């Protein structure tokens, strides 16, 4: 009798494999940067995801979400980067390292009112899922802590319309 590999294990291994890959310039080509620090003409990042790249959206989503994540605004969270921001980390996230490597400022969460989205924006929310709450309910999965599924995140760019449209 053949054993079945659990789908979550497969998903974890795929994320682990992809997450540890690093972008490098093609052989014989050096990454170019201008005086502004922008690498290879990349001037903005638009990020979608979950806690692995949430820079504070879950905390700002509302009372229930804020109550669950209020510990992320106090030490030790953010200790390594000068203060807590709502990140699920005491330091930088992968998206922060990517922004720094590209010579861009750290991404602001899209719910940060008055934030500068000139160099991109972060739509990621802790607890976000690929499927929305209704799709999860149909297959018997309990409702997630947030309804910021990938499809919801993909409909958010108009909220940051000024900087978003200026790029396209």
pLDDT digits (tens, 9 = 90+) for 69-81: 677 777 788 888 8
pLDDT in tens, 5-18: 567 666 666 665 55
Q: What is the DSSP letter of 69?
A: H
How would you classify the pairing of strands 120-122 and 45-47? parallel
Q: What is the C-alpha R_g of the chain?
A: 18
76 cis-preceded (ω within 30 degrees of 0): yes
Q: Is the pLDDT of residue 53 over 60?
A: yes
Burial of 42 (0-12, 13-18, 19+ CB in 10 A): middle
Beta strands in the chain (DSSP E): 45-47, 120-122
Where do the domains of the chain lie?
Answer: 42-167
pTM of the model: 0.68
CA torsion through residues 123, 152, 41, 95, sign: positive
Is pLDDT of 39 > 80?
no
Residue 168 banded pLDDT, cuts 50, 70, 90: very low
Q: Which pLDDT tens digit goes with each residue over 96-119?
A: 999 999 999 999 998 888 888 999
Residue 131 to residue 144: CA distance in whole angstroms: 10
* Residues contacting residue 151 through CB under 8 Å, at least 6 positions apart: 132
Look at residue 97 in the predicted model and tell me its pLDDT: 94
The mean of the pLDDT values for the chain is: 76
Count of alpha carbons within 13 Å of 55, Cβ hemisphere only? 24
| Dist CA 142 CA 145 (whole Å) | 9
CA neighbor of 57 nearest in space, from 167, 130, 148: 148
Provide the pLDDT for residue 148. 84
Tokens 């310039």 belong to residue: 25
Q: Dihedral sign, CA of 80, 112, 118, 44?
A: positive
What tens digit of pLDDT does each residue of 124-153 get? 988 888 888 888 889 998 866 777 888 888
């Amino acid at each position: 009798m053949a054993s079945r590999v659990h789908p979550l294990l497969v998903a974890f291994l795929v994320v682990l494999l992809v997450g540890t890959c690093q972008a490098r310039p093609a052989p014989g080509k050096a990454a170019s940067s201008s005086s502004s620090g922008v690498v290879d003409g990349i001037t903005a990042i638009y990020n979608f995801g979950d806690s692995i790249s949430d820079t504070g959206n879950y905390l700002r989503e509302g009372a229930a979400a804020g109550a669950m994540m209020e510990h992320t605004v106090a030490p030790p969270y953010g200790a390594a980067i000068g203060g807590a921001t709502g990140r699920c980390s005491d330091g930088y996230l992968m998206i922060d390292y990517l922004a720094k490597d590209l010579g861009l400022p750290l991404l602001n969460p899209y719910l940060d009112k008055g934030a500068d989205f000139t160099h991109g924006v972060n739509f990621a929310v802790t607890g976000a899922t690929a499927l929305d709450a209704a799709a999860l309910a149909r297959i018997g999965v309990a409702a997630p802590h947030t309804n910021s599924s990938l499809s919801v995140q993909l409909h958010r760019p108009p909220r940051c319309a000024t900087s978003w449209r200026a790029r396209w």
